[in-house]
Chains A and B, each alone.
Chain A
Amino acid sequence: MLAFIVRRLLQAVVVMGVVALVSFSLFQFVGDPVTAMLGQDATEEQRVQLRQDLGLNDPVPVQFAAFVRNAVQGDFGVSYRQGRKVSELIQERLPATLELSLAAALLALLVGIPMGVYTALRRRSFLANFFLAISLVGVSLPTFLIGILLILVFAVFLGWLPSFGRGETVDFGGWGTSLLTADGWAHLVLPSITLALFQMTLIMRLVRSEMLEVLRTDYIKFARARGLSDRAVYFGHALRNTLVPVITITGLQIGSIIAFAIITETVFQWPGMGLLFIQSVQVADIPIMAAYLCLIALIFVVINLVVDLLYFVVDPRLRVERATSAH
């Protein structure tokens, strides 16, 4: 158990190290930070001074160590384009992305699970086939196109919902939230549906196939034989046993949701981290790119680590297998 955790932690550290190296080499190979920060018409003394201050005259390994030291403390320097600290910019954008991702994840679960249960229980009904057809569309349509179509229908043609930005936000101790205003909720509807649709179809299909599998097992037959109501059999026995894989998959998907938020944020001009990243890619704003790279890698590594450890806690068989295979 301990060896497994240590190995996984080491692997996580190696991944983060590689990502840090990639981010660091961006600074080395792309453009000149001195020119980027001082502009073209700085004097030679200013350049020499800044070069010295930034530690650019140090050997590369020393610079890398300094980069990692700063990065661990959340300091990625100053944005070339916006002239502000990257940590401030990220902190400003992070709540928007997290709220959008959370809303999408909840929506995907709350709609996907009932749809999955329904399609498993009433397999031949019209509605179930309809849901399945929709899920096929959800899987094969690119996310950005779904967003654009939703905007076209609900914002342009019908004019029901806003399609641009976050709306009114309330500052809540440094966390700008849009969840406390009606305007904010209205702005959240279309982006969260767009972001949720893919995960929703995934969850629906997963719940459906798991349910169909569980309904064939002996204990379900036995529960029926005991004369339990359909309701108790379906929801008390069957659904409960399908939820374990669903929760793991959803946990793993949280990273994907945050990553796919880049697309959704671009479509809806949602002021989150993804939009910040895309804008900085277009103008080669290295400090922001490096910070986003490290942050997203950290999120993924942490999620994977937690899921791996949870497996271990949940499934005792794994412990035995690992212990025997270690010899």
Chain B
Amino acid sequence: MSTSALSRFLDSDIYFSFRRSPVAMGATLVALVMMLGAIFAPWISPHDPFDLRNLDLNNALLPPAWEEQGQGSYPLGTDDQGRDVLSTILHGSRISLLVGLASVAFAMFMGIALGLLSGYIGGRLDAFIMRVADVQLSFPAILIALLINGVARAALPADANMDTMALGVLIGSIGLANWVQYARTVRGSTLVEKNREYVQAARVIGVGPIAIMLRHVLPNVLGPVLVIATINVATAIITEATLSFLGVGVPPTSPSLGTMINNGNNFLYSGEWWLVIFPGAALILLCMSVNLLGDWLRDALNPKLQ
């Protein structure tokens, strides 16, 4: 079964167009390397940046290894607390990716659910959901995420465990800011699908509306949603980095790439450029590779362009 699936994939148009696109292959390579680095960060990073016993303030603010005062054991230098920048980047991309993927999954789940309901049931519910979507769409997503995040933080009790809460609030606010696109796409396809014969047949033999939505309509409206999701992962990572940079994202105890850049920003004028440049470059590589991959996927799956 799996071998036939693999050989079918190798014969498919998608794989063919993938092999013909150097941009897509390059982007995939970069994205894979960064993701593997992030996933295996605890095992491959040279130091453990969260283990306070390893930190030595004598090693604080060391430049990268190739500079005069650099040390070989800290290839990209250290920050103000003596943490190895390379290790922190690996752990930081882990958090960035986690927040990015989790918030896209959340937005996708919410958007698909509301889009299906809106398209299949129609009527007042549809009008209401789509009005809310219209209103939300007229504001930029980052502003919505910022506002939800700010409100949620202010509303949480002060003694709550901020470390885990902040991450949840962050994922929730970015997700809530991005559900509209999915809901609109799913609603549009659902409106088309629900009048097809197979749905009518299911209805005639007495399948319930929820089962029809989940088992019959959903698989047929999922394609475009996955393309949007790929592109949105990059946007979500940027949103997370921006919020963390603004100081309302993940807590400093578990820094993401945005938190690192925010921290490095304080040392910009004293010449410690590596605290900004390296995490910044990691963020750019991550977002651009995911972005290019998403663009390619959209074109490859769009029959009009072939």
Interface residue ranges, A against B (CB under 8 Å): 11, 15, 22, 26, 29-31, 140-145, 148-149, 151-152, 156, 255-256, 259-260, 262-263, 266-267, 277-278, 281-282, 284, 286, 289, 293, 296, 300, 304
Instruction: Given A256-B140, A284-B154, A289-B154, verify A148-B284 contact (CB < 8 Å).
Output: no
Q: How far is the CA of A141 from the CA of B283 in the complex (A)?
A: 9
B151 near A22: Cβ-Cβ < 8 Å: yes
Instruction: Given A140-B234, A281-B248, verify A26-B139 contact (CB < 8 Å).
Output: no
Q: How far is the CA of A145 from the CA of B242 in the complex (A)?
A: 9
Q: How far is the CA of A209 from the CA of B147 in the complex (A)?
A: 34
Instruction: Given A140-B291, A281-B153, A282-B248, verify A151-B138 contact (CB < 8 Å).
Output: no
Q: Does B86 contact A (CB under 8 A)?
A: no
Question: Which 4 residue pairs of A and B lie closest in terms of their CB atoms, listed nearest first?
Answer: A281-B150, A259-B143, A284-B154, A142-B238
Most B C-beta atoms less than 10 A away, residue of A151, A259, A282, A296 = A259
Q: Does B278 contact A (CB under 8 A)?
A: no
Chain A hits for B242, CB < 8 A: 142-144, 263
B154 near A152: Cβ-Cβ < 8 Å: no
Chain A hits for B271, CB < 8 A: 156
In terms of DSSP, what is the predominant structure of the interface of chain A? Answer: helix
A156 near B155: Cβ-Cβ < 8 Å: no
B147 near A293: Cβ-Cβ < 8 Å: yes
A152 near B238: Cβ-Cβ < 8 Å: no
Instruction: Given A140-B288, A142-B241, verify A152-B268 contact (CB < 8 Å).
Output: yes
Chain B hits for A141, CB < 8 A: 284
Number of A-B contacts (CB under 8 A): 92
B283 near A148: Cβ-Cβ < 8 Å: no
Most B C-beta atoms less than 10 A away, residue of A26, A142, A148, A278 = A142
Q: Does B247 contact A (CB under 8 A)?
A: yes
Chain A hits for B291, CB < 8 A: 140
- Sample 17 A-B pairs with CB under 8 A, ordered by A number: A22-B151, A26-B154, A140-B287, A140-B288, A142-B241, A142-B245, A144-B242, A144-B246, A144-B261, A145-B261, A151-B268, A260-B142, A262-B143, A263-B242, A278-B246, A282-B247, A284-B154
B139 near A144: Cβ-Cβ < 8 Å: no
Chain A hits for B15, CB < 8 A: none
Q: How far is the CA of A293 from the CA of B146 in the complex (A)?
A: 11
Contact of B283 among A145, A152, A277 (CB under 8 A): A145
Q: How far is the CA of A260 from the CA of B288 in the complex (A)?
A: 21
Contact with A along B211-245 (1 / 0, CB 8 A): 00000000000000000000000100010011001
Q: How far is the CA of A282 from the CA of B249 in the complex (A)?
A: 11
Q: Does B28 contact A (CB under 8 A)?
A: no
A300 near B142: Cβ-Cβ < 8 Å: no
B138 near A304: Cβ-Cβ < 8 Å: yes
B268 near A156: Cβ-Cβ < 8 Å: yes
Q: Does B254 contact A (CB under 8 A)?
A: no
Q: Does B66 contact A (CB under 8 A)?
A: no
B284 near A286: Cβ-Cβ < 8 Å: no
B139 near A300: Cβ-Cβ < 8 Å: yes
A142 near B276: Cβ-Cβ < 8 Å: no
- Minimal Cβ-Cβ distance residue in A for B148: A22
Q: How far is the CA of A237 from the CA of B273 in the complex (A)?
A: 49
Q: How far is the CA of A29 from the CA of B158 in the complex (A)?
A: 12
Contact with A along B127-171 (1 / 0, CB 8 A): 000010001001110110011011101110000000000000000
Chain B hits for A293, CB < 8 A: 147
A148 near B142: Cβ-Cβ < 8 Å: no
Q: How far is the CA of A117 from the CA of B141 in the complex (A)?
A: 30
Contact residues, B247-267 vs A (CB, 8 A)? 247-248, 261, 265
Q: How far is the CA of A192 from the CA of B154 in the complex (A)?
A: 31
Instruction: Given A15-B135, A281-B153, verify A152-B273 contact (CB < 8 Å).
Output: yes
- Minimal Cβ-Cβ distance residue in A for B248: A281
Chain A hits for B154, CB < 8 A: 26, 30-31, 281, 284, 286, 289
Q: How far is the CA of A30 from the CA of B277 in the complex (A)?
A: 38
Q: How far is the CA of A30 from the CA of B157 in the complex (A)?
A: 8
Q: How far is the CA of A143 from the CA of B284 in the complex (A)?
A: 11
Q: Does B269 contact A (CB under 8 A)?
A: yes
Quote the shortest CB–CB distance from B164 to chain A (angstroms).
19
Chain B hits for A142, CB < 8 A: 238, 241-242, 245, 283, 287
Extra contacts besides A26-B154, A296-B143 (18): CB < 8 Å? A22-B151, A30-B154, A30-B155, A142-B241, A144-B261, A145-B241, A145-B280, A145-B284, A148-B280, A149-B280, A156-B269, A259-B142, A262-B146, A263-B242, A266-B246, A278-B247, A281-B248, A284-B153
B276 near A152: Cβ-Cβ < 8 Å: yes
B248 near A259: Cβ-Cβ < 8 Å: no
- Minimal Cβ-Cβ distance residue in B for A31: B154
Q: How far is the CA of A255 from the CA of B137 in the complex (A)?
A: 12
Chain B hits for A256, CB < 8 A: 140
Most B C-beta atoms less than 10 A away, residue of A140, A145, A263 = A145
